[in-house]
Structure 1
Amino acid sequence: MKAFRLHAYGDIASVVTEDVPVPDTGPHEVLIRVAAASVNPLDLKLITGHAAAYFPLTFTHTLGTDLAGTVEQAGPLAAGWRPGDRVIARPAPTRGGAFAEFAAVPASHVASAPTSLPLETAAGLPTAAATAWQALFETARLERGQTVLIHAAAGGVGSFAVQLARIAGAHVIATASAANADLVRELGASRVIDYRSQDFAGDLDDVDIVLDTIGGETQQRSFSVLRPGGMLVSIVAPPDELLAAAHKVNGAFVFHQTDATRLRSISGLCDAGSLRVVTDQVFDFTDMQAALQRVASQRSRGKVLLAIG
């Protein structure tokens, strides 16, 4: 089978396509014929080694942590899966395997794909939507009626976070470019702040939760908009504990962990018509490096997808 591989930490040019054997299927695993994969900022960090402290790779490594496809084979202890089942899955980053024609994934990281979405689109769900879910509901404990500020709301995680917060009955404020403001309002934000021309830190206060998808100065300036006892949740870097204490708020870093139950809930919301995948661009499997460059540009609106099979 064809797979995109990395022989050592490097840059996008270090990613090469190779012919490799179809992976063996363990007793608790599902072998998936990959229809499509999603390209994430995490993939760039894995390639460069910037995520090595959290996700050290063993080389040679097949890249990719987001996929959708059909079950080819199920291990004897992977109960409930049959050949032909449509699924979404998220292999662990240290394992990878999504940027290939076949991937073996633990059954605990696999869920049924939404029946309402083509597999090419469903591939955008596992990492981004599940990260937004974990951050808002499991870490921040978002409740109906609360106010949440979501940074980079037109991005992969941000676009799902806006929708999930809206579904939960929260009041959603978002930062985005003026070009993406209408999209973000359509997704569920009641107010959109143009980060290029407006100062969110000067305009806001008494916010219950901030979802930080950017880090750096944006994260540091976000503490001031929170009410006492509020929470800043980051998916980029651990919040500064001293700054949090100075503002009398809480900070938390989301270390995303795959959970099939969470994936099933997300799939159900798609089939209910409540959740959509915002697609930036779909690349052919042979255009892997172009897809990575698109994510690296930080200009993508929603998900960058890779059509494989």
Structure 2
Amino acid sequence: MRAVRIHRFGGPEVLKIETVDEPIPAGHEVVIRVLAASVNPVDAKIREGKYPVVTEKELPHVLGRDVCGEIADLGDDVAGFLMGDQVFAFLSPKNGGYEEFVIAGSNEIAMKPKSLDPITAAAVPLAGITAWQGLFDHGDLRPGQRVLIHGGAGGVGHLAIQFAKARGAWVATTVSGTDKAFVEDLGADQAIDYKSERFEDQVEPVDLVFDLVGGDTQQRSFDLIKPGGALISTLTEPDAAGAAQRKIRVGRYTAQPSGAQLQEIADLIDEGKVKVVVDKTFDLGQVAEAQKALENTHVRGKLVLRVLG
């Protein structure tokens, strides 16, 4: 089978399409025939050697953390799934999705949303789980609360807006001016153009800031958070001392695979409460071009690789 591997860290030029053996599942694993895989910022971090879970001793390494496809093989201890089931998955770091067949733990997969094609479904798992865990597991967002999402037009952000609205929260988000109508259509109650408006002058205090931007944006958010509220980031660790002074909770997290949470997300999609936006698709052979696009262009929603037709 074909797989995109790196043998050293570096730029897009280190991505190599190679022929490798198809995987064989252990007891609680499945093999997914990959129809599509999404492209995420973490893929570039791994490629550059900036993701501590993947070190030189793990090379060569297959990139890609989420896929949609069909179950092609099952371990003896797998329950609840059958050969041929269409599933999607947020994979553990040891298994890369930029390949034609990939191993996944049965606890990492869920049935593909019936309302989505495989390309669109592949855009969901990593971004969806990241948004879900940030808002609900770490942010403890509850109905009736107010949340500010920084970076609402991106892969994680556009799903976070919709998850928060589905949970009954009031949602503000920072985006570029060209994306204001886009996020308002997703349900955002207030959209702030970060290039021309200072969000701290526009938004009333919130219970949660979900930070997908980091840097100065993160620090400027502290005074917007109600006492007892929280700032949760996917990027840099927030200032714990500043948080303690303001009586707020802060944290940085890395999303973890969860088939159960992915099934909840799939249900919301099939209920029409969440729509998934794919900005552009690429063939597997265009993987370097896809990663360059992610790093160097404005992406609304997600980028996805077509792997097997």
Question: Which TM-score band (shorter chain)?
Answer: over 0.9
2: CA distance, partners of 1:42 / 1:298: 16
Q: State the secondary structure of the residue aligned to 2:125.
A: coil
**Map of 1:23 onto structure 2:** 23
2: CA distance, partners of 1:199 / 1:34: 43
**Map of 1:48 onto structure 2:** 48
The aligned amino acid for 2:306 is A
Q: State the secondary structure of the residue aligned to 2:221.
A: helix
2: CA distance, partners of 1:279 / 1:34: 18
Q: State the secondary structure of the residue aligned to 2:104.
A: strand
Q: State the secondary structure of the residue aligned to 2:71.
A: strand
**Map of 2:74 onto structure 1:** 74
TM-score normalised by length of structure 1: 0.97
**Map of 1:215 onto structure 2:** 214
**Map of 2:291 onto structure 1:** 292
Report how many aligned residue pairs link the two structures: 307
Matched, 1:8 2:8: yes
Structure 1 residue 298: Cα displacement: 5.2
2: CA distance, partners of 1:132 / 1:276: 14
2: CA distance, partners of 1:252 / 1:60: 32
What pairs up with 1:132-171 in 2 under 5 angstroms? 132-171=131-170
**Map of 1:85 onto structure 2:** 85
Q: CA RMSD in A?
A: 1.2
Q: State the secondary structure of the residue aligned to 1:128.
A: helix
Q: Deviations over 1:251-285 (max 9, x none)?
A: 01122111111011011111111111111111111
CA contact (8 A) 1:162 1:189 kept: yes
Q: Deviations over 1:57-101 (max 9, x none)?
A: 6011111101000000111011122111000012112x1320001
What pairs up with 1:167-178 in 2 under 5 angstroms? 167-178=166-177
The aligned amino acid for 1:245 is A
Q: 5+ residue gaps in structure 2?
A: none
Matched, 1:36 2:49: no
Q: Deviations over 1:43-65 (max 9, x none)?
A: 1111111112x444601111110
The aligned amino acid for 2:90 is R
Runs of 4+ displaced beyond 4 Å: none
CA contact (8 A) 1:205 1:224 kept: no
TM-score normalised by length of structure 2: 0.97
2: CA distance, partners of 1:136 / 1:235: 11
Q: State the secondary structure of the residue aligned to 1:268.
A: helix
The aligned amino acid for 2:33 is R
Q: Deviations over 1:193-221 (max 9, x none)?
A: 00000001233342110000011111111
2: CA distance, partners of 1:251 / 1:278: 29
